[in-house]
Amino acid sequence: MYFLIFLIAAVLAGFYFYYKSRPETAKIFPAEWEGLLQEHVRFYRNLPKEKQPEFRKRILQFLGETYIDGVETEITDLDKLLIACSAVIPVFGFTEWHYFNLTGVLLYPDYFDEDMQFADTDKDRNIGGLVGSGRFERKMILSRRALRQGFDNTTDKSNTGIHEFVHLIDKMDGSTDGIPEDLLGHQYVIPWVNLMHKSMEEINDDESDIRKYGGTSQAEFFAVVSEYFFERPDLLKNKHPELFEMLQSCFYPKA
């Protein structure tokens, strides 16, 4: 009898401590965010229904781990969501992912120049995002205008947010060189480098539909072709089957 009472008490205590120690991120996804995702994020709309809860969970997890600050601008829910989507989309094929090389994202209202100025300057303001270094190490800077355009235009094969997060993924092995060694697996490194060089040559010879910027360096090629992969997977599969296969095994290792 005493044993039974002890057992019940132990089980109740167990439940109590289990619920008390659950992490903060088990928050409810706000109902109005679901509407924003449906309206603005094609990747989410196209996900099978049963995978959407997992996507929402990963959004909350990312937002729980990363601060987002506006530079001379108020951050809206849509900004937060689009930044989180840019982070989650490229790693959704992994059961778990933490961007340990990122602490925060700074959102600028508009495109900026190399001195990080976005107000009227004489210089070209054409930077939509970047992965910080030096005093901006572990930070990402994004332009709201570029971020929004990336998600609003679903046919142009480009998405600034995804582009910058792919640079972070590339950087995780220590160098931003277009070779995500940890994702590719050793045996695919050389085939990937060869394929990358061949494709960059085609871009630079004007014989490719991959965005010109991808021809400037291996790192940019990887980021640009990944935007294409996540924005227009069917088109990439059709036009560049080898690249598609390689990226598929890189970003969806279990598929």
Residues that bind Zn ion (CB under 5 A): 220, 223
Residue 104 has a CB neighbour count (10 Å cut-off) of 15
Nearest residue (CB) to Zn ion, 88 versus 223: 223
Nearest residue (CB) to Zn ion, 36 versus 162: 162
Nearest residue (CB) to Zn ion, 61 versus 158: 158
On whether the CB atoms of residues 139 and 102 are closer than 8 A, the answer is: yes
Instruction: For the CB of residue 22, give the shortest distance to Zn ion in the complex, in Å.
Output: 38
Nearest residue (CB) to Zn ion, 37 versus 166: 166
Instruction: For the CB of residue 151, give the shortest distance to Zn ion in the complex, in Å.
Output: 18
Beta strands 104-108 and 67-70 are parallel
Instruction: For the CB of residue 240, give the shortest distance to Zn ion in the complex, in Å.
Output: 19
Q: Letter for the amino acid at 130? A: L
Instruction: For the CB of residue 176, give the shortest distance to Zn ion in the complex, in Å.
Output: 9
Nearest residue (CB) to Zn ion, 61 versus 208: 208
Report the distance separating Cα 124 and Cα 114, nearest Å.
8
Instruction: Please enumerate in sequence order all residues whose Cβ is within 8 A of that of 114, keeping only pairs 6 or more positions apart, or say none.
Output: 123, 127
Instruction: For the CB of residue 130, give the shortest distance to Zn ion in the complex, in Å.
Output: 7
Report the distance separating Cα 255 and Cα 251, nearest Å.
9
Q: Which residue's CB atom is positioned nearest to Zn ion?
A: 223
The token duo for 81 is: 């969501």
Report the distance separating Cα 203 and Cα 210, nearest Å.
7
CA end-to-end distance (rounded Å), the chain = 53
Instruction: For the CB of residue 50, give the shortest distance to Zn ion in the complex, in Å.
Output: 34
On whether the CB atoms of residues 227 and 159 are closer than 8 A, the answer is: yes
Nearest residue (CB) to Zn ion, 60 versus 231: 231
Q: How many helices (H) and strands (E) does the chain have?
A: 12, 4
